[in-house]
Amino acid sequence: MGVDKCNVYGVFKSAKMENVVAKIDWMVAYDFLDISYNGKLPMIVFTDRGWEIEANQRTEEFLREWDQWINEGRPIPDMTYLEDRNRHMILLLLEKVKETGDNKYIPYLEAWYKVDYKKVRAAIHETIKVFQSEEPFDPTSAIKRENTMKEALKGFAPFDFRIKCWECGKRFIFTVGEQKFYKQKGFSEPKRCKPCREKRKLELYF
C-alpha cells in the first residue's frame, strides 16, 4: 500500500494497543477527532478544529519538503502529487508560500500551474504575481491564522450537561460517560429522560 512512505508511519509502534486507544479516546473527548459511521462501520474523522491543526501541520511538511529538494538541487518533481488534495489545505499551502517572500519557489509554482485544476491554477497565478510585485507582504492573514490555531489548540475537558426532555419537559443530566457511549455507537443525543425512555419502551413493547 506504500504506507511506509508516509512520514507518520509507525509512530506508535512502541505503544500498546490500549495506549493507542486511550490517545484516540482523549482526542475524541477533547473534540479533535470524531466517530462517523459508514453504514455499520465506524470511522475516525477530524473535527473542524482537529482539521485546522492537521492542515496546518501538513502544509508545513509540504513546504519543508520543497526546501529540502531545492537545497539538495533535485529536479522539480511531478507536481500532480498535489492534485485532488483537500482544497482548503492547498490554498493554505499557497498562503504560506506567499508569506515566505522567497521567489525560489516560483519554478515549483510554475510546474504546479501546468498540471492542476482551473481554480487551483488561479490561486497559483496569484501567488506568483505576489512574488513579481514590489508590494510589501501584508501579515494580516498569517496573524489571523496563528490566532485560529491558538483557539483550535485550546482543549477543553468534557463535562456533564443538561438536556430538556421532549416528553415531560424536565431537564436531565447527560453525563460524560453517556456522551462517550453515544458517540462510539454513532447515536444522536437523547431527546427524552431515562424515565420517559423506559416508559416509551414499555408502550412500544406492549
Instruction: Give residue 115's pLDDT.
Output: 93
For residues 96 and 109, is the Cβ–Cβ distance under 8 A? no
pLDDT tens digits for range 25-66: 888 888 889 888 877 788 899 988 889 888 998 999 999 999
Residues of the chain by 3-state class (helix, strand, coil), percent to 5: 60, 10, 30
Average pLDDT of the chain, as a whole number: 85
Say if strands 161-164 and 41-46 run parallel, antiparallel, or are unpaired: unpaired
How far does Cα 79 stand from its chain's mean position? 23
What's the pLDDT band for 206 if we cut at 50, 70, 90? low
Query: What are the contacts of 99-102 at 24+ separation with CB within 8 A?
Result: 99/137, 99/139, 99/141, 99/142, 100/63, 101/131, 101/137
Q: Could you tell me which residues come within 8 angstroms of residue 179 by beta carbon, excluding any fewer than 6 positions away? A: 158
Instruction: Give residue 14's pLDDT.
Output: 92
What's the pLDDT band for 181 if we cut at 50, 70, 90? confident
Amino acid at 53: I
Instruction: Give residue 28's pLDDT.
Output: 84
Dihedral angle computed from the Cα positions of residues 178, 179, 180 and 185, in that order, rounded to the nearest 10 degrees: 90
State the average pLDDT over residues 167-191.
83
The answer on pLDDT for 123 being more than 90 is: yes
Instruction: Give residue 38's pLDDT.
Output: 79
Q: Where are the domains of the chain?
A: 49-153, 160-206
Q: Could you tell me which residues come within 8 angstroms of residue 189 by beta carbon, excluding any fewer than 6 positions away? A: 163, 174, 182
